[in-house]
Amino acid sequence: MDPDKYYPFKAAPLAYDIKALCPDISEYTMYFHHDKHYCGYVDKLNGLIKNSPLMQNIPLEGLAMLDDDDIRKNAGGVYNHEMYFSSLTPQYREPSAKMIKKMNESFGSAEKMMSSLAGAAMDITGSGWVWLAENRNGRLEILVTKDQDIIDPDKYSPLLNIDLWEHAYYLDRQNRRNEYIQAVMNSINWIGAENRMKDI
């Protein structure tokens, strides 16, 4: 994803086939999530700022931090979903030794980090996001944002996120959010997360 991109925004295609995460995340869910929900945010954001040269000169990340509720929500919907789809991969690989070291330093062990991430996802009420981020001291943190809020880019570099809006899992899992979280944990793109780290 590119947080610095500007109007007019274009929906980023999935980096993998729409069926690639089946059966963990179905083609049906991925279609509605990417082609309808995410692309809908792109279209709405473009529509909101089509007559505003001022807004068109603000990058996506900045739009997602504005006080204007409509622009912030839709820019956040674009930003968050681009991070989400790129946080997943059908070719799962364990975190590298470098990432494991970072997890150990920040959480005591990789297992504690994984269980904290999954636990934060389980604990969300309403719609929101769980993030793994690197703070300005080079430590990993797990953060939660509500609705389509992003994490503060001045304080954190986002490494990955998990979408906990019901549209992310309800078609496949109904109320079994735990199954969805486990499916995501088994599909995390750790290479992509590591590539977003600043302190490497």
Residues that bind Fe ion (CB under 5 A): 163, 165
Q: Which is nearer to Fe ion, 104 or 127 (CB)?
A: 127
CB of 146 to Fe ion, least distance (A): 13
Residue 80 β-bridge partners: none
Backbone angles phi, psi at 43, to 5 degrees: -65, -45
CA distance 111 to 88: 19
* CB of 167 or CB of 176, closer to Fe ion: 167
Residue 102 or 173: the one with the smaller Cβ distance to Fe ion is: 173
CB nearer to Fe ion: give 41 or 156.
41
Q: Smallest distance from the beta carbon of 169 to Fe ion, in angstroms? A: 10
Q: Residue 15 carries which side chain, given as an amino acid letter?
A: A
CB of 77: closest distance to Fe ion in angstroms? 8
Q: Are 98 and 105 a contacting pair, CB within 8 Å?
A: no
Residues 95 and 76: their CA atoms lie apart, in Å, by: 27
Separation of first and last alpha carbons in the chain: 19
CB of 186 to Fe ion, least distance (A): 19
CB of 190 to Fe ion, least distance (A): 21
Residue nearest to Fe ion (CB): 163
- Shortest distance (Å) from residue 46 CB to Fe ion: 18
Q: Would the CA dihedral through 82, 88, 89, 93 be positive or negative?
A: positive
- C-alpha–C-alpha distance, residues 151 and 141, integer Å: 11
Q: Residue 76 or residue 95: which is nearer to Fe ion going by CB?
A: 76
Q: Which residue number, 24 or 163, has a Cβ lying nearer to Fe ion?
A: 163
For tokens 């839709």, the residue is 74
Dist. CA 13–CA 28, nearest whole Å: 16
